[in-house]
Amino acid sequence: MPCLRDFQPLACAGFLLSACLNAAAQAQAGGALPTVTISAKANPDPVEKSYRKMVQGMDLFEQERSALAPQAALRFKLLPRRRDTGMSGIEMEVIGSTMDFPVQIAPDGTFTLARDARALEENAQVSPNRKALSMTWRTDIRTPGLPPNTRRLGDLRLECRVGMQAGLISNASNVVGRMVKALLNTPAYCDRQLPNYLFFADRPLFSVALVAGQRRETLSIDKLYAAASDDPALKDDLPYCDCEVLVDRTYILPLGDRSWPDDTLVEFDYMDGE
């Protein structure tokens, strides 16, 4: 059995010695040696998601798009979670027990999933070639033709609901206690007056405002930057938050406040703007 390339020499020698001793013992006992397969593509620490859950999110999008975002399309999006995460050249597959197929990722990190009955039956995983906690996932639902530097509130309401249904939130430690508990990991969480669902803008933010007709309201500072500026203690938790390297792009919205209609525009004033 050849050594894997990333093994240290001593570890590799020890592994080979152990394998030889086991083989000799089984040969003396007359037992058959088991067949072992090593995949060079195996990722020992994956950042994968459930294909079945993501398809459930796709189903929810189809059920609710006419009410919340009738002109929008659904894509999923990969975002960096660590400063050293390389976001170019990502390869991703849907992998089941007897099947697999590749997923094409666009230059902006977005992708769609094909529906596959075998992948559903085998509870396949959507697996990129990156380590766990190196990336985070979001839905990306956008109505075309909006003014520059804006999003539509109905699109973002549906992003939250589909993201929760698809199981995309990837906080890992005590931040979850403040954000999204497993008990609340359902689309209904997005109907709260002010759910702590983190959205990510395209660029670092200076401010965010809601605009509906003549009504205009700028989000307070504690609704930006994952609230880290409001509570210095939260800065210690950033390594456990999927916003760690995107904290200057984060914002939360009053998704459950129906006084803001779905056609409300969310306007972004970026730090690199005029």
* Range name among 193-197, 201-205, 220-224 with the lowest pLDDT average: 193-197
Higher pLDDT, 149 or 36: 149
- 226-272 residue pLDDT tens: 876 555 555 556 666 787 788 999 999 999 999 999 999 999 999 98
- 110-120 residue pLDDT tens: 999 999 999 99
pLDDT score of 121: 97
Contact between residue 89 and residue 109 where contact means Cβ atoms under 8 Å apart: no
pLDDT score of 16: 37
Four-residue CA torsion sign, 107, 112, 113, 114: negative
Distance separating alpha carbons of residues 76 and 91, to the nearest angstrom? 15
Give the confidence band of 144 by pLDDT, cuts at 50, 70, 90: very high
Going from the C-alpha of 151 to that of each of 199, 210, 251, 262, the distances in angstroms are 11, 10, 12, 11
pLDDT score of 227: 75
Tell me the mean pLDDT in the region 153-181. 76
Q: In the β-sheet with 49-50, what is the strand arrangement from edge to edge?
A: 49-50, 125-128, 92-95, 100-103
- 9-39 residue pLDDT tens: 334 434 433 444 454 444 444 444 443 333 3
pLDDT score of 232: 55
Q: How many CA atoms lie within 13 A of 199 on its CB side?
A: 28
pLDDT score of 231: 56
pLDDT score of 32: 46
pLDDT score of 8: 41
Look up residue 172 and give its two tokens: 């890992």
pLDDT score of 238: 62
Main-chain phi, psi angles of 155, to 5 degrees: -60, -45
Sequence ranges of the domains in the chain = 1-38, 49-270
pLDDT at residue 53 is higher than 90:
yes
Give the confidence band of 130 by pLDDT, cuts at 50, 70, 90: confident
pLDDT above 70 as % of the chain = 72
pLDDT score of 112: 98
Q: What residue type is assigned to position 163 of the chain?
A: G
